[in-house]
Amino acid sequence: MALIELLTTAQTATGISGFTGRLYEVILSISAVFIAILWIPIALSFFSEDENRRMEAKLRLKNAIIGTVIYVMAVSGTVYAVFYYIATGA
């Protein structure tokens, strides 16, 4: 019921584009929180007394940075621009 009210309010007040813009921001915020939560175990591993655990954290750090960069590029449209340039040459 609340979702239907939200949809009708969004359509009448600001239009579909305003609603989709807010929805995009909410989705980005949720995914940013998810990425931050995934970074927590890596950060905690750096403070470990065990040397093996710290070395493992360094390896996981590299993978986490690559994954975060890919995510940021996908959200910002850079990945689309690169593939579009490769496909069309323009």
Q: Which residues, other chains included, contact 64 with Cβ-Cβ below 8 Å and sequence gap of 6+?
A: 38, 39, 42
pLDDT (0 to 100) of residue 1: 54
Q: What residues does each domain of the chain span? A: 2-88
Instruction: List, for residues 72-83, the tens digit of each pLDDT value.
Output: 888 888 888 888
Predicted model pTM: 0.63
What is the predicted pLDDT for the residue at 10?
52
Average pLDDT over residues 31-55: 88
DSSP letter (8 states) at residue 89: -
Token pair, residue 8, equals 């009708």
